[in-house]
């Protein structure tokens, strides 16, 4: 009798214990989410910066600031830099944003449309207000601010760690050896390219794997032949990329590929390999932006920094654009998380220190940024000085091919550029594919 | 013990936590994703109800049909090569090498253990054509042919992908089918040999029919894996020049996460699910016929 009752009491007890035990074991596997990077509202104790791995120019300067001028801020909240591949950056930032896990500073806006979305959703700091509050608003150049506003939804919500103009870098020694004058028209450029190919060089070093170095040439031609508002017209719907004038631009670039001016195997050449082709003297010219100055002034440059010249994208005969309109951009900029920012916390202190000193520190390392560099004692290498002077005196700037595209059109444009120059896609097909993606919205 | 495990209530109680976790982690997201197919938008911008618009778009989107065709092409070719070559290897192990097959088996199996991304990087270098020629192009140049930009066009990139994935997995299928061949009783093979069956007749009438179950299992395994290919293609070509080597999984990933269109991405995922379901049903239907015979 007593054993039966005891057994009856024990059975539910055993089952309940078993249930609890198994439940704990199973849930233990699911737990361990950890706390998110920046936290929100509190004073972050680490100044975390999430950037794209391809950006190698911002980190050394931030590091130099942390070691020297901003050492007090470094003590309060040490700088921590994390990198992820550029192709995954927009998706990762969106994911972090919706999970309230954005770090205090992060790179974004590789695709301006995506960057503008972050601004509209309220995740970014309004630097116009913030920098005025900190008293350092005048340390950012107006040209950079206007480019940022053009790209990112009309507000100053990204920081111009880079401010670049684009054009064609050329190997001075090769030009002198062959007696070529610096071309100022498109036809002259084609002549020089043809002679470069005949001399056994690659006329233009370009990365087909990245795609955008090739589409920059297309937009360069479009701006020169149709005027500086040509791509804005496409974005507004007043013109289509499938219009004959736009397709003609793509045709010009496809012809460059057909004539072999990009060298063999341009489709699989990646960014580093293309820059190295130029910096080791195998290519006569490379279309690139002033961010290349870092590599030009470094030891990796085998042709010598004095040997590199810079020319603007040439004019097109009878075109509506002018040779003085430089394509300019702010690279892949960085911005601050509105949730972890406050004028009086560690992040605010870092922002103030960076804004005041980044321009000069970057100039010391030969980089030109959108921050004002007022230290006149810094000597620049000749090529950097040329570019700085050009930036200071340029009257109007233009954007680039994918600047105002949505993410899908931007992706289609850069992944199909290599097919355009290797003849696997006709200019009509290329422009149609991009226009279709634009129309999808 | 029996009193606890034999009792239905106890079993239910023990299963509930794991079942709950399974439902939450696997079943709920599947249902959620199905629900998303009727919406459009992303986490950042919010979702709006669009009814069947995503499905209409699915049927008219040329990229989806390209991706589907690539997935089917890839699945059939790679499965065929993997299983047939694996079968050949298994026959080699069982009938030719016998005892000494252990070393060969291990070496051929080794690539299966390597990470897919590492193998993709290896093949990128092997088939490189810019800035310098990789191993394969060097060989081609040395025999007098010209170097090929393997990853620069869709068809040649497809060849590289197939070679890479077959090389990686053939060891696994070799071992899998080998274990099936071991089950064939030696007496049957001996008696067939005594009756005068040569190797080809032996293969066709004895070995092949007896190893049909394991061959079938290999096909299922292979098709299941190849339809859902993602990491090896992504690491090798990233979708290839343009979208010529983009399988359905990669296109779905791009649409949802890079183009921020979760609704349409979920629709593509639904298409993938339906495809896998159809393949599974076809296989189960034919396997039932097979067993009943």
Question: Residues of A355-382 as b/e, b for ≥16 C-beta within 10 angstroms?
Answer: bbbbbbbbbebbbbbbbbbeeeeeebee
What's the CA gap between A375 and A141, in Å, rounded? Answer: 15
In this predicted structure, what is the pLDDT of residue A34? 38
Are the C-beta atoms of residues A369 and A409 closer than 8 Å to each other?
no
Q: What is the pLDDT of residue A38?
A: 42
Which chain B residue is nearest to residue A99, measuring alpha carbons? B43
Four-way CATH pick for B61-292: 3.20.20.80, 3.40.50.150, 1.10.287.3510, 1.10.3720.10: 1.10.3720.10
- A20 at B interface, C-beta within 8 A: no
Q: Which residues of A touch B17 (CB under 8 A)?
A: 19, 22-23, 26-27
Interval B54-59 mean pLDDT: 93
- Is there a contact between B254 and A411 if contact means CB atoms under 8 Å apart? yes
The structural domains of chain A, ordered by start, are 47-163+330-373 (3.40.190.10), 166-329+398-440 (3.40.190.10)
Taking all residues of chain B, what is their mean pLDDT, rounded to a whole number?
A: 89
Report pLDDT digits (tens) over A302-337: 988 889 999 999 999 988 888 888 888 888 899 999
pLDDT value of position A19: 65
SS3 A229: coil
Residues of chain A under the 50 pLDDT cut: 1, 28-40
**A26 in reach of chain B (CB within 8 A):** yes
B7 vs A11: CB contact, 8 Å cut-off?
yes
Q: What's the confidence (pLDDT) of residue A56? A: 84
Asked whether the beta carbons of residue B13 and residue A14 sit closer than 8 angstroms, the reply is: no
Residue A8 has a pLDDT of 59
What's the token pair of residue A212? 């955008």
Instruction: Please tell me the predicted confidence (pLDDT) of residue A26.
Output: 53
Asked if the Cβ–Cβ distance from B259 to A266 is below 8 Å, we say no
DSSP tally for chain B: helices H, then strands E? 16, 2
Please report the pLDDT score of residue A41 as a whole number: 54
Strand partners, A164: A329
* Of the candidate ranges A170-179, A421-430, B190-199, B227-236, the one whose mean pLDDT is the lowest: B190-199
User: In whole angstroms, what separates CA A59 from the centre of its chain?
Assistant: 14
Tell me the β-bridge partners of A83. A51
Write down the pLDDT at residue A376: 77
Determine the average pLDDT of the residues in B165-171.
95
For residue A404, the number of C-alpha atoms closer than 13 Å in the C-beta half-sphere is 20
Judging by DSSP bridges, how do beta strands A334-336 and A326-329 pair with one another?
unpaired
Q: Is a pLDDT exceeding 60 seen at residue B62?
A: yes
Q: How far apart are CA B251 and CA A4, in angstroms?
A: 64
- CA distance readout (Å), A183 to A4, A87, A187, A314: 104, 35, 8, 7
Q: In angstroms, what separates the C-alpha of B12 from chain A's closest C-alpha?
A: 9
Report which of A133, A177, A137, A161 is spatially closest to residue A342, judged by C-alpha positions. Answer: A133
Nearest to B92 by CA among B82, B81, B106, B105: B105
pLDDT at A86: 84
pLDDT value, residue A113: 84
Give mean pLDDT, residues B205-232. 89
CA-CA distance, A237 to A240, in Å (whole number)? 7
Helix axes B154-182, B116-126, angle to 10 degrees: 130
Structural domain boundaries in chain B: 2-36, 61-292
Interval A349-386: pLDDT, tens: 999 999 999 999 988 887 788 888 888 788 888 888 88
Q: What is the value of pTM for the model shown?
A: 0.79
CB–CB contact A268 B260 (8 Å): no
By CA distance, what is A19's nearest residue in B? B14
Q: What DSSP state is assigned to residue A124?
A: B
Cβ pair A59, A362 in contact under 8 A: no
Name the pairing type of β-strands A326-329 and A164-171: antiparallel
Tokens read off for A348: 């605010």
Per-residue pLDDT of A23-41, as tens digits, reads 665 554 444 333 444 444 5
Pairing label, strands A47-52, A105-107: parallel
Distance CA B129, CA B127 (A): 7
A335, A382, A331, A388: which is closest to A359 by C-alpha?
Answer: A388
More confident residue, B121 or A294: B121
């Amino acid at each position: 009798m007593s054993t039966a009752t005891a057994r009856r009491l024990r059975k539910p007890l055993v089952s309940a214990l078993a249930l609890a035990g198994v439940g704990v074991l199973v849930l233990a596997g699911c737990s361990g989410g950890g706390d998110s990077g920046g936290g929100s509202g509190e004073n972050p104790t680490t100044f975390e910066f999430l950037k794209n791995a391809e950006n190698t120019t911002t980190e050394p300067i931030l590091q130099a600031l942390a070691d020297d001028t901003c050492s007090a801020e470094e003590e309060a909240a040490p700088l921590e830099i994390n990198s992820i591949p550029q192709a995954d950056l927009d998706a990762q930032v969106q994911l972090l944003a919706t999970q309230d896990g954005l770090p205090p500073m992060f790179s974004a806006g590789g695709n301006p449309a995506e960057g503008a979305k972050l601004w509209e959703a309220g995740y970014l700091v309004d630097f116009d207000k913030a920098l005025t509050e900190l008293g350092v608003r005048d340390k950012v150049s107006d040209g950079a601010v206007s480019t940022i506003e053009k790209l990112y939804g009309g507000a100053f919500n990204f920081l111009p760690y880079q401010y670049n103009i684009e054009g064609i870098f050329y190997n001075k020694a090769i030009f002198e050896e062959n007696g070529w004058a610096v071309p100022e028209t498109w036809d002259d450029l084609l002549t020089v390219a043809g002679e470069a190919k005949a001399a056994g060089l690659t006329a233009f070093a370009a990365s087909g794997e990245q795609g955008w170095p090739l589409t920059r040439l297309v937009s360069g031609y479009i701006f020169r032949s149709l005027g500086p508002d040509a791509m804005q017209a496409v974005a507004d719907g007043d013109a289509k990329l499938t219009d004959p004038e736009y397709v003609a631009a793509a045709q010009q670039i496809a012809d460059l590929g057909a004539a072999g001016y990009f060298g063999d195997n341009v489709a699989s050449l990646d960014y580093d390999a293309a820059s190295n082709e130029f910096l080791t003297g195998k290519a006569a010219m490379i279309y690139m932006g002033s961010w290349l100055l870092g590599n030009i002034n470094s030891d990796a440059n085998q042709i010598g920094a004095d040997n590199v010249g810079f020319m603007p994208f040439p004019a097109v005969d009878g075109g509506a654009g002018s040779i003085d309109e430089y394509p300019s951009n702010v690279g892949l900029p960085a911005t601050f998380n509105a949730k972890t920012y406050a004028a009086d916390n560690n992040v605010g202190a870092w922002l103030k220190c960076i804004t005041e000193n980044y321009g000069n520190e970057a100039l010391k390392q030969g980089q030109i940024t959108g921050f004002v560099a007022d230290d006149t004692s810094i000597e620049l290498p000749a090529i950097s000085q040329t570019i700085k002077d050009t930036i200071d005196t340029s009257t109007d700037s233009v954007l680039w091919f994918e600047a105002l595209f949505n993410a899908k059109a931007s992706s289609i444009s850069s992944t199909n550029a290599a097919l355009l120059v290797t003849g696997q896609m006709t200019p009509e097909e290329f422009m149609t594919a991009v226009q279709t993606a634009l129309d999808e919205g | 013990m029996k009193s606890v495990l034999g009792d239905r209530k106890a079993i239910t109680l023990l299963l509930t936590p794991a079942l709950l976790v399974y439902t939450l982690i696997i079943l709920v997201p599947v249902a959620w994703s199905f629900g998303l197919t009727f919406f459009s938008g992303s986490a950042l911008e919010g979702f709006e109800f669009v009814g069947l618009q995503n499905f209409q778009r699915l049927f008219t989107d040329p990229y989806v049909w390209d991706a589907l065709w690539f997935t089917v092409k890839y699945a059939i070719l790679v499965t065929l090569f993997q299983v047939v070559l694996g079968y050949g290897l298994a026959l080699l192990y069982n009938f030719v090498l016998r005892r000494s097959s252990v070393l060969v088996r291990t070496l051929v199996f080794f690539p299966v253990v390597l990470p897919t991304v590492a193998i993709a990087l290896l093949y990128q270098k092997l088939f490189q054509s810019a800035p310098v020629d990789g191993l394969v192009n060097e060989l081609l140049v040395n025999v007098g042919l010209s170097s090929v930009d393997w990853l620069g066009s869709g068809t040649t990139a497809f060849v590289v992908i197939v070679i890479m994935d077959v090389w990686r997995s053939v060891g696994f299928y070799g071992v899998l089918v080998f274990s099936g061949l071991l089950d064939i009783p030696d007496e049957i093979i001996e008696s067939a040999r005594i009756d005068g069956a040569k190797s080809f007749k032996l293969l066709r009438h004895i070995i092949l029919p007896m190893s049909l179950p394991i061959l079938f299992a290999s096909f299922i395994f292979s098709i299941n894996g190849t339809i859902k290919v993602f990491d090896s293609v992504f690491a090798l070509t990233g979708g290839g020049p343009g979208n010529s080597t983009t399988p359905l999984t990669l296109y779905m990933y791009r649409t949802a996460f890079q183009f921020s269109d979760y609704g349409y991405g979920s629709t593509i995922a639904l298409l993938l699910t339906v495809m896998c379901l159809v393949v599974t049903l076809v296989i189960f239907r034919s396997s039932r016929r097979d067993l009943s015979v």
